[in-house]
Amino acid sequence: MAERQSVLVLISEDPRASHRANEAMRIALGIVAGETPVDIVLAGPAVHLLDENTDDLVDGDDIAKFRAALKKLAVPFQVEEGAPPADPSWNADGHPVATITPDGIARLVAKAKRFLVF
């Protein structure tokens, strides 16, 4: 087995319009479960993965389940600066998040050895 490489999961799909944002999050969860370090970045509309009301999201039930699992594992989301909505109910579950700038994303890209871009 080769040395475990850090994996960057960059999600920019809109979970209100596509199931692929959820699928990317599910894959990230699977990789984390394999004890591989993962950085998850939510860019643009992908920040809606943290909407309180998942009824308006494609595969909303799954989104609630997978993000809860990631929260339990203390895996933070790095959210693109300026992308979160003003709605105060956003991230009502209190998932650990950090704001990341485009330069910060570039630094993660430079650090990572594996990439999953949705």
Which residue, 31, 70, 24, 64, is CA-closest to 45? 24
Q: Which of 17, 30, 87, 96 binds other proteins (CB under 8 A)?
A: 30
67 near other proteins, rule: CB under 8 A: no
CB nearer to other proteins: give 107 or 114.
Answer: 114
**Taking contact as CB under 8 A, which single stretch among the options 24-32, 44-52, 78-86, 95-103 is the one that binds other proteins?**
24-32
The DSSP symbol for 34 reads: T
**Residue 110 CB burial class (10 angstroms; 0-12, 13-18, ≥19):** exposed
CB nearer to other proteins: give 93 or 115.
Answer: 115
CB nearer to other proteins: give 106 or 117.
Answer: 117
Structure tokens at 46: 């992908």
75 near other proteins, rule: CB under 8 A: no
Structure tokens at 117: 């871009």
